[in-house]
Amino acid sequence: MTTAEHKAIDQAHDDAKMKQQMVAAITAVGMLLRRANNRIEQGDEAIKKFAADLQGDHPAYAFQWAHNAMNATAARDVARDIKKAVESIGTGTCTMWSLRDSVTSNVISSAKHPSFSTSPTSNLMEQFKNAALAEWANFLNDAIMHLEANGLKQPKSTTDEA
Protein backbone atom coordinates (compact mmCIF):
# COMPACT_ATOMS: atom_id res chain seq x y z
CA MET A 1 0.00 0.00 0.00
CA THR A 2 1.29 3.44 -0.84
CA THR A 3 1.72 6.34 1.56
CA ALA A 4 -1.17 8.13 -0.13
CA GLU A 5 -3.41 5.10 0.43
CA HIS A 6 -2.42 4.96 4.12
CA LYS A 7 -3.19 8.67 4.46
CA ALA A 8 -6.56 8.18 2.77
CA ILE A 9 -7.41 5.31 5.14
CA ASP A 10 -6.32 7.36 8.17
CA GLN A 11 -8.41 10.31 6.96
CA ALA A 12 -11.45 8.09 6.46
CA HIS A 13 -10.99 6.69 9.97
CA ASP A 14 -10.69 10.21 11.42
CA ASP A 15 -13.79 11.32 9.49
CA ALA A 16 -15.80 8.35 10.78
CA LYS A 17 -14.67 9.05 14.35
CA MET A 18 -15.62 12.72 14.02
CA LYS A 19 -19.07 11.78 12.66
CA GLN A 20 -19.57 9.38 15.57
CA GLN A 21 -18.63 12.13 18.02
CA MET A 22 -20.98 14.62 16.35
CA VAL A 23 -23.83 12.13 16.55
CA ALA A 24 -23.03 11.53 20.24
CA ALA A 25 -23.06 15.27 20.95
CA ILE A 26 -26.31 15.82 19.06
CA THR A 27 -27.87 12.84 20.87
CA ALA A 28 -26.78 14.12 24.29
CA VAL A 29 -28.07 17.64 23.67
CA GLY A 30 -31.31 16.29 22.20
CA MET A 31 -31.85 14.05 25.22
CA LEU A 32 -31.38 16.98 27.60
CA LEU A 33 -33.71 19.23 25.61
CA ARG A 34 -36.41 16.53 25.53
CA ARG A 35 -36.14 16.12 29.30
CA ALA A 36 -36.31 19.88 29.80
CA ASN A 37 -39.36 20.20 27.56
CA ASN A 38 -41.02 17.31 29.40
CA ARG A 39 -40.43 18.94 32.81
CA ILE A 40 -41.72 22.27 31.48
CA GLU A 41 -44.90 20.64 30.14
CA GLN A 42 -45.45 18.72 33.40
CA GLY A 43 -45.04 21.94 35.40
CA ASP A 44 -47.46 23.82 33.17
CA GLU A 45 -50.03 21.02 33.55
CA ALA A 46 -49.62 20.96 37.34
CA ILE A 47 -50.09 24.73 37.54
CA LYS A 48 -53.24 24.55 35.40
CA LYS A 49 -54.63 21.72 37.52
CA PHE A 50 -53.86 23.59 40.75
CA ALA A 51 -55.50 26.77 39.42
CA ALA A 52 -58.58 24.77 38.37
CA ASP A 53 -58.73 23.07 41.77
CA LEU A 54 -58.59 26.48 43.46
CA GLN A 55 -61.57 27.58 41.38
CA GLY A 56 -63.45 24.39 42.21
CA ASP A 57 -65.88 23.65 45.00
CA HIS A 58 -63.19 22.82 47.58
CA PRO A 59 -60.22 25.18 47.31
CA ALA A 60 -59.03 24.23 50.78
CA TYR A 61 -58.46 20.71 49.49
CA ALA A 62 -56.31 22.13 46.68
CA PHE A 63 -54.08 23.82 49.26
CA GLN A 64 -53.69 20.53 51.14
CA TRP A 65 -52.00 19.13 48.04
CA ALA A 66 -50.26 22.33 46.92
CA HIS A 67 -46.84 20.73 47.40
CA ASN A 68 -47.42 18.72 44.22
CA ALA A 69 -47.93 21.92 42.23
CA MET A 70 -44.99 23.57 43.97
CA ASN A 71 -42.67 20.67 43.18
CA ALA A 72 -43.72 20.59 39.52
CA THR A 73 -43.38 24.38 39.29
CA ALA A 74 -39.88 24.31 40.76
CA ALA A 75 -38.90 21.53 38.34
CA ARG A 76 -40.38 23.55 35.47
CA ASP A 77 -38.50 26.72 36.41
CA VAL A 78 -35.20 24.87 36.75
CA ALA A 79 -35.83 23.07 33.43
CA ARG A 80 -36.41 26.41 31.70
CA ASP A 81 -33.04 27.66 32.94
CA ILE A 82 -31.30 24.43 31.99
CA LYS A 83 -32.90 24.48 28.54
CA LYS A 84 -31.56 27.98 27.88
CA ALA A 85 -28.09 26.89 28.98
CA VAL A 86 -28.16 23.69 26.90
CA GLU A 87 -29.25 25.69 23.86
CA SER A 88 -26.19 27.92 24.35
CA ILE A 89 -23.70 25.04 24.44
CA GLY A 90 -21.05 25.60 21.83
CA THR A 91 -21.96 29.23 21.21
CA GLY A 92 -19.52 30.66 23.71
CA THR A 93 -17.90 29.48 26.89
CA CYS A 94 -20.72 27.13 27.92
CA THR A 95 -19.92 23.44 27.57
CA MET A 96 -21.71 20.38 28.85
CA TRP A 97 -18.95 20.05 31.45
CA SER A 98 -19.12 23.68 32.63
CA LEU A 99 -22.91 23.46 32.87
CA ARG A 100 -22.69 20.27 34.93
CA ASP A 101 -20.07 21.85 37.19
CA SER A 102 -22.19 24.97 37.68
CA VAL A 103 -25.34 22.99 38.48
CA THR A 104 -23.45 20.72 40.88
CA SER A 105 -21.89 23.73 42.59
CA ASN A 106 -25.35 25.29 43.05
CA VAL A 107 -26.71 22.05 44.53
CA ILE A 108 -23.84 21.82 47.00
CA SER A 109 -24.13 25.49 47.94
CA SER A 110 -27.88 25.16 48.54
CA ALA A 111 -27.33 22.06 50.65
CA LYS A 112 -24.64 23.78 52.71
CA HIS A 113 -26.66 26.99 53.09
CA PRO A 114 -30.36 26.04 53.17
CA SER A 115 -33.05 28.67 53.14
CA PHE A 116 -34.19 29.76 56.60
CA SER A 117 -36.90 32.18 55.63
CA THR A 118 -39.70 32.88 58.07
CA SER A 119 -41.96 31.60 55.29
CA PRO A 120 -42.26 27.80 55.37
CA THR A 121 -43.61 27.93 51.80
CA SER A 122 -40.52 29.79 50.60
CA ASN A 123 -38.26 27.25 52.31
CA LEU A 124 -40.18 24.36 50.76
CA MET A 125 -39.94 25.92 47.30
CA GLU A 126 -36.17 26.27 47.68
CA GLN A 127 -35.97 22.58 48.66
CA PHE A 128 -37.94 21.62 45.56
CA LYS A 129 -35.69 23.75 43.35
CA ASN A 130 -32.56 22.21 44.83
CA ALA A 131 -33.98 18.72 44.31
CA ALA A 132 -34.67 19.59 40.67
CA LEU A 133 -31.12 20.93 40.28
CA ALA A 134 -29.73 17.71 41.76
CA GLU A 135 -31.73 15.72 39.24
CA TRP A 136 -30.25 17.85 36.44
CA ALA A 137 -26.74 17.32 37.79
CA ASN A 138 -27.36 13.59 37.31
CA PHE A 139 -28.83 14.09 33.82
CA LEU A 140 -25.84 16.21 32.79
CA ASN A 141 -23.41 13.69 34.23
CA ASP A 142 -25.11 10.90 32.24
CA ALA A 143 -24.86 13.01 29.07
CA ILE A 144 -21.17 13.63 29.71
CA MET A 145 -20.55 9.92 30.25
CA HIS A 146 -22.20 9.32 26.85
CA LEU A 147 -19.94 11.93 25.23
CA GLU A 148 -16.79 10.57 26.84
CA ALA A 149 -17.70 7.00 25.89
CA ASN A 150 -17.64 8.27 22.30
CA GLY A 151 -14.23 9.87 22.62
CA LEU A 152 -15.21 13.46 23.38
CA LYS A 153 -13.30 15.12 26.18
CA GLN A 154 -13.80 18.23 28.24
CA PRO A 155 -12.39 21.19 26.33
CA LYS A 156 -9.48 22.94 27.96
CA SER A 157 -10.47 26.35 29.25
CA THR A 158 -8.44 29.42 28.41
CA THR A 159 -7.65 29.81 32.11
CA ASP A 160 -6.03 26.34 32.14
CA GLU A 161 -3.61 27.38 29.42
CA ALA A 162 -2.47 30.56 31.18
Q: pLDDT tens across 118-159, in order? A: 999 999 999 999 999 999 999 999 999 999 998 888 887 644
Q: pLDDT tens across 5-38, in order? A: 656 665 666 667 777 888 888 899 999 999 999 9
| pTM for this model (two decimals) | 0.84
How many other CB atoms sit within 10 Å of the CB of residue 145? Answer: 11
Q: What is the pLDDT of residue 31?
A: 94
How far apart are the C-alpha atoms of 81 and 73, rounded to whole Å? 13
Q: Are the CB atoms for 104 and 130 separated by under 8 Å?
A: no
Q: What is the pLDDT of residue 162?
A: 38
How many other CB atoms sit within 10 Å of the CB of residue 32? Answer: 24
Using pLDDT thresholds of 50, 70 and 90, give the confidence band for residue 76. Answer: very high
Domain boundaries, the chain: 10-149
Q: pLDDT tens across 34-69, in order? A: 999 999 999 999 999 999 999 999 999 998 889 999
> Phi and psi at residue 37, in whole multiples of 5°?
-60, -40
How far apart are the C-alpha atoms of 13 and 8, rounded to whole Å? 9
Using pLDDT thresholds of 50, 70 and 90, give the confidence band for residue 77. Answer: very high
How far apart are the C-alpha atoms of 136 and 158, rounded to whole Å? 26
Mean pLDDT, the chain, rounded, equals: 88
Nearby residues of 65 by Cβ (< 8 Å), 6 or more positions away: 53
Tell me: pLDDT of 74 over 60: yes
Q: Are the CB atoms for 95 and 89 separated by under 8 Å?
A: yes
